[in-house]
Chain A
Amino acid sequence: MNDTPATDLAAIPTFVLDRVGQVQYEEEGGFPVEHGYIWTTCAATENGNPLFWDADVAADLTDGPIAPPTMLSVWFRPHHWSPGRTEPAVPLQAHFDLKVDLDLPEAIISSNTITFHDPVRIGDRIRSRQVLKSVSEPKTTKLGRGRFWVIDVEYLNQNDALVGVESYTAFGYRRNEGGAS
């Protein structure tokens, strides 16, 4: 990768810069956190952690049943179908907006960090919101020339307590032409 200044990419539009740090796309998950999905997830991974199977252990350690932390995004994914919807819901809409607004048609997620805060409990209503954290200067990688950006997806419960943050680093780019790397 190099960061040689170039004039081939347009400057970042002001309306994109204005989004940095602003909350976008705040949405509530389609259903409350439920035990069935927890058991199904534990079954899918043969996870015998008694915290998720034994009510006494859960009462002792976590004041009642909780969901496995890595299930954070499960509570927010839309149903495959719901009444009245004609278009599929797109996760991480802020990412797709940047591809359009920066005129960078290709993009990859280069890394993903999940930070876990308050436990998610049965019956919680989880909502998420997207926050653009940064957009880089132009960079060149083996994929092409473009910009890196970081988007945080924050997850909160019905009491406004933060339960987790997923941070995505993406690279939006135009493909190299002529086989340059």
Chain B
Amino acid sequence: MTRDLLHGDVSVGDTPPPLGVDVTATTVVLGALASRDWRPMHHDKDFAVERNGTQDIFLNTPNQAAWFERYVTDWTGPTGRLGRMTFRMNTSVFPGDHMVFDATVTGTHVDAVGCGWVELDVALMVGEVATTTCAVRVALPVDDDDNPWNRRGDAWRPGTEGEGST
């Protein structure tokens, strides 16, 4: 078993390995129901086509968030703790699409309370189109004794910009 990523292992410009997934109707419906999203455009093709004017049912936003989380923590390992995600949805993902997640590290810093943060720009691509982009802030251990999950109260500052950058 490989050890989890440490903050010092990461540099600006690093590119975590891409993740490719073939999207099926099951992918869309299972994701919608897992996220308790009962709206018909995520399980009823006739509704999606006739009422929404889309080509098919499409991935819902909360399930996309779960895919982004999976992609990032595949890279960090279980000690990686998400702090913040900012989404921008450009277009939809349909059955038959091959979606690819890729990312670039855009920043690293250790904050004033010693938490090691990594910033990533993650894209969900279908072909050449970035259907959704997501700016992710994730905390990584600064050394083998650190565990971001142990941070509570003032020791966990996921919304504070990068003071104390290193």
Contact = CB atoms under 8 A, between A and B. Distances in A.
A24 interface: no
Given A45-B31, A45-B63, A114 B84 contact: yes
Interface stretch (B7-15, B65-73, B109-117, B121-129): B65-73
Interface residues of B, number: 37
Given A44-B63, A44-B66, A46-B70, A74 B36 contact: yes
Interface of B is mostly: mixed
A40 B36 CA distance: 11
B49 interface: no
Contacts of A37: 34, 36
Given A44-B31, A49-B73, A113-B85, A70 B62 contact: yes
A10 interface: no
A43 B30 contact: yes
Contact of B158 (A45, A68, A110, A115): A115
Interface of A is mostly: mixed
Interface in A58-80: 61-62, 68-71, 73-74, 77, 80
A77 B34 CA distance: 11
Contacts of A73: 35, 62
B37 interface: yes
A19 interface: no
B156 interface: yes
Given A57-B78, A111-B86, A114-B84, A47 B37 contact: no
Contacts of A57: 78
Interface in B7-31: 21, 27, 30-31
Interface string B138-155: 000000000101001000
Given A37-B34, A51-B78, A111 B87 contact: yes
A70 B86 contact: no
Interface in B50-95: 61-63, 65-70, 73-74, 78-79, 81-88
B96 interface: no
20 contacts: A37-B36, A40-B30, A40-B34, A41-B35, A44-B27, A45-B69, A46-B70, A47-B69, A47-B70, A49-B70, A49-B74, A70-B62, A70-B69, A73-B62, A80-B38, A114-B86, A115-B159, A116-B82, A117-B158, A119-B149
Interface of B: 21, 27, 30-31, 33-38, 61-63, 65-70, 73-74, 78-79, 81-88, 147, 149, 152, 156, 158-159
